[in-house]
Amino acid sequence: MEIEFASLDDSLARFTLSGASTAFANAFRRAMIGEVPTLAIEDVRIYDNTSALFDEMLAHRLGLIPLKTDLSSYTTQETCSCGGAGCPGCTSTYTLSVEGPRTVMSSDLIPQDPKATPVHANIPIVKLTKGQKLVVEARAVLNTGRAHAKWQPILICGYKNHPAISVSDACDACSLCVDECPRGILAVKGKKIQVVEGKLPDCSMCRLCERACLGSGIGDEPAIRIAAEKDRYIFTVESDGSLTVKEIMNRALQYIREQADELEHQLGEISGDEKK
Ligand code: SF4
Ligand code: SF4
Ligand SMILES: [Zn+2]
């Protein structure tokens, strides 16, 4: 199995996964979405709210604000030594106190842990008019997207099979397929059709080129053929900023490895029992 990055920064990665089954590619995608823990606000204590929004709507909005997460500093409440009561090892506390007239922004959330700030400072929470007030205390805990979407560390996580394009000798370079391609993948070079350098991953496999070729009167078989490589996938992963994309990928792979080890261990126990 191999991963080759086309681009990688903290928030966005495009890469090709080769030599993997569809089941593995999907397990990887699902693990990145649902099994990588991040911080999100879970408990909100509202001391004063004279804004136009109900307490429940405010709590919902606060829960959806992405928070920077240092996974080496936090553990889940279930595994924490405090037994889930809430301590600095499993809980990040925030206070917010704003009086109108002005818009309450995510930057108004003051964290106890300076590393666990909101990812973006400019997320509007509620607009206060003159005399309106909002005083809140919030607690964020670590959990995964499997429990609730607010704990998903990703905005986009998808893959498609790597496209493969072949052109047979029957091609007469009429260029109908070039004109038809909506993504500018194809070009005429000399008397041949070629894929524009670096454009192959952008092919959506819509097969409009095949249709155009058939429409040129070439016969029953198009000269150009679009196929999907069975064990090669193009991934796009975008983080919400709580973790870097690399951390998300590493954690997801670690989760898959742990699950496989656990399964192997259980199978070992079963076969051990059978031998007795
Ligand atoms: S399948 Fe669609 S996107 Fe790909 S080369 Fe053909 S027309 Fe272009
Ligand atoms: S439409 Fe068919 S024959 Fe014409 S250039 Fe494309 S592949 Fe070749
Ligand atoms: Zn704790």
- DSSP annotation string for 165-201: EEE-TT-----HHHHH-TT--EEEETTEEEEPTT-GG
What local confidence, expressed as pLDDT, does residue 190 receive?
A: 85
Q: Which residues of 117-136 are buried (b: 16+ CB within 10 A; e: fewer)?
A: bbbeeebebbebeeebebeb
99 and 160 together in one domain: no
Residue 276 lies in a domain: no
Best residue for ligand 2 mutational test, from 168, 172, 174 (most atoms within 8 Å of Cβ)? 174
- Measured from the Cα of 186, ligand 2's closest atom is 6
| Domain containing residue 222: CATH number | 3.30.1360.10
Q: Is 204 in the pocket of ligand 1 (CB under 6 A)?
A: yes
Vertex 155 angle, CA 150 and 161, to 5°: 130
According to DSSP, the residues that pair with 167 across neighbouring strands are: 224
How many C-beta atoms surround the C-beta of residue 203 within 10 A? Answer: 22
Best residue for ligand 2 mutational test, from 172, 194, 207, 226 (most atoms within 8 Å of Cβ)? 172
Residue 84: strand, helix, or coil: coil
147 and 52 together in one domain: yes
100 and 182 together in one domain: no
What local confidence, expressed as pLDDT, does residue 274 receive?
A: 65
What local confidence, expressed as pLDDT, does residue 271 receive?
A: 81
Torsions phi, psi for 244 (to 5 deg): -80, 160
69 and 163 together in one domain: no
Closest alpha carbon to 49 in 40, 61, 37: 61
Residue 67 lies in a domain: yes
21 and 68 together in one domain: no
Give the distance (Å) from ligand 2 centre to CA of residue 176.
Answer: 6
Task: Average pLDDT across each block of 10 residues of the chain; the chain has 276 residues. List them in order.
Answer: 95 97 97 97 97 97 97 93 92 97 98 96 97 97 96 96 96 94 95 93 96 92 96 97 97 96 92 68
Question: What is the tally of structural domains in the chain?
Answer: 2
Ligand number nearest to the C-alpha of 90: 3
| Domain containing residue 43: CATH number | 2.170.120.12
Residue 271 lies in a domain: no
Residue 246 lies in a domain: no
Question: Rounded to whole angstroms, how far apart are CA atoms 16 and 3?
Answer: 6
Residue nearest to atom 6 of ligand 2 (CA): 177
> Which domain does 207 fall in, by range?
2-34+155-237
Give the distance (Å) from ligand 3 centre to CA of residue 86.
Answer: 4
52 and 22 together in one domain: no
172 and 100 together in one domain: no
Of 99, 116, 151, which residue sits at a domain end?
151
27 and 160 together in one domain: yes
Of 100, 128, 151, which residue sits at a domain end?
151
Residue 88 lies in a domain: yes
Q: Is 206 in the pocket of ligand 1 (CB under 6 A)?
A: yes
88 and 166 together in one domain: no
